[in-house]
Amino acid sequence: MSPADVVVALDVGGTGMKCALVRPDGTAVHTERHPTDAGRGPDAVIETILDVADGLAGKARADGLDPVALGIAVPGVVDEPAGVAVWSANVGFRDVPLRDLAAARLGLPTALGHDVRVGGLAEARLGAGRGTGHVLFVAVGTGIAAAHVVDGSAATGAHGAAGEIGHILVRPGGPRCGCGRDGCLEAVASASAIARRYSEALDAATTGTVTGGVVTGGTEKTGAAVSAAEVADRAAAGEAVAARVWAEAVEALADGLATGQALFDVQTVVVGGGLAQAGPRLFDPLRAALRERMTFHRQPRLVAAALGDGAGCLGAALLALDAR
């Protein structure tokens, strides 16, 4: 590899695209962000992806660098060997052969990956899982998804849908999940589920739950538009409803991670996504709850992700480097 080599990397999300030119050692020499504007429909989004990737390759050449490959990460179900974005709710993709489209447009070797799987790849190789061979990366944000990375490679599953840990059934008959089933992990413990459940619990309290002829709850507290981080803050401050919702989420997450450990027996569990920003308010009780659930399995090291929201872009770059 020449010192001028870079890869073009894009992490396409429902609202925005994080883009970078990345050296083979994982350092980004240039970053850009663009809106996805998914409401325009999948064809327009594909055009934007190709234009942005082409623009980045041009920028690299203008700066005296040599773009040698392209990596693109997208959400949903991704058939990585075929290079096809099979299905994505928030970008609107259905069976889009994105790898071949991009390779034809840019004339570069191209890899297509799943956003959480490549994020896990980056955390396992360059981030919080560095130095350990068996890593489970769990992203907890609007949903919950995982990547099982062994020796720097993430398993995709037979249909591109491995790692959907958010749909482990943890509370049969519990809250309705976006997938249509009741009681999935992400219906209890995703950042958006925590915010929603807190809001619902407060509303139930403030709209007058009658207990023994006395209307309980007050009007001074509202659950409208309270984030999961705020629920964690309120729980730490001793607010009972917040403490209950937070504890239920932590217990459910521990159930999900215990299932993950039974399946994968990893050394390190890296938790990323928005919820990881709760820090010790998440990790202290989660570590304890996970320990309670271990019988003969070894307790994995439980750590916060280190690469922030750049992990997906960096992982797309790693996938591109692997594919060359």
Q: Could you say whether residue 184 binds Zn ion (CB under 5 A)? A: yes
Q: Which is nearer to Zn ion, 77 or 177 (CB)?
A: 177
Nearest distance, CB of residue 167 and Zn ion, angstroms:
4
Contact window for Zn ion (CB under 5 A) among 179-187, 227-235, 246-254, 310-318 = 179-187
Nearest distance, CB of residue 192 and Zn ion, angstroms:
13
Q: Which is nearer to Zn ion, 176 or 291 (CB)?
A: 176
Q: Could you say whether residue 89 binds Zn ion (CB under 5 A)? A: no
CB-based contacts of 131: which residues, under 8 Å, 6+ apart?
none
Q: Which is nearer to Zn ion, 123 or 164 (CB)?
A: 164
Q: Which is nearer to Zn ion, 135 or 184 (CB)?
A: 184
- Centre a 10 Å sphere on the Cβ of residue 86 and count the other Cβ atoms it contains: 18
CB-based contacts of 200: which residues, under 8 Å, 6+ apart?
223
For residue 271, what are the CA distances in angstroms to 55, 97, 268, 286, 307? 33, 31, 10, 11, 11
d(CA 222, CA 220): 7
For 132, counting Cβ atoms within 10 Å of its Cβ (0-12 exposed, 13-18 middle, 19+ buried), the class is middle
Contact window for Zn ion (CB under 5 A) among 117-125, 132-140, 178-186, 263-271 = 178-186
Nearest distance, CB of residue 184 and Zn ion, angstroms:
3
Positive or negative torsion for Cα 72, 74, 80, 82: negative
How many residues bind Zn ion, per CB under 5 A?
4
Nearest distance, CB of residue 135 and Zn ion, angstroms:
24
Q: Which is nearer to Zn ion, 67 or 76 (CB)?
A: 76
Please name which of 68, 39, 64, 34 lies closest in space to residue 51, comparing C-alpha atoms. 34
Residues 155-174 that bind Zn ion (CB under 5 A): 167
The tokens for 147 are 């990547």
Please name which of 195, 194, 190 lies closest in space to residue 143, comparing C-alpha atoms. 190
Q: Could you say whether residue 179 binds Zn ion (CB under 5 A)? A: yes
Contact window for Zn ion (CB under 5 A) among 60-68, 181-189, 244-252, 287-295 = 181-189
Q: Could you say whether residue 177 binds Zn ion (CB under 5 A)? A: yes
Nearest distance, CB of residue 256 and Zn ion, angstroms:
11
Nearest distance, CB of residue 134 and Zn ion, angstroms:
26
Nearest distance, CB of residue 252 and Zn ion, angstroms:
12
Q: Could you say whether residue 78 binds Zn ion (CB under 5 A)? A: no
Residue for token digits 């994020």?
119
* Strand bridging mode 110-114 / 66-74: parallel
Residues 262-281 that bind Zn ion (CB under 5 A): none
Nearest distance, CB of residue 181 and Zn ion, angstroms:
5
Please name which of 170, 216, 225 lies closest in space to residue 192, comparing C-alpha atoms. 225
The tokens for 55 are 């623009």
Strand partners, 96: 85
Residues that bind Zn ion in the complex, under the rule CB under 5 A: 167, 177, 179, 184
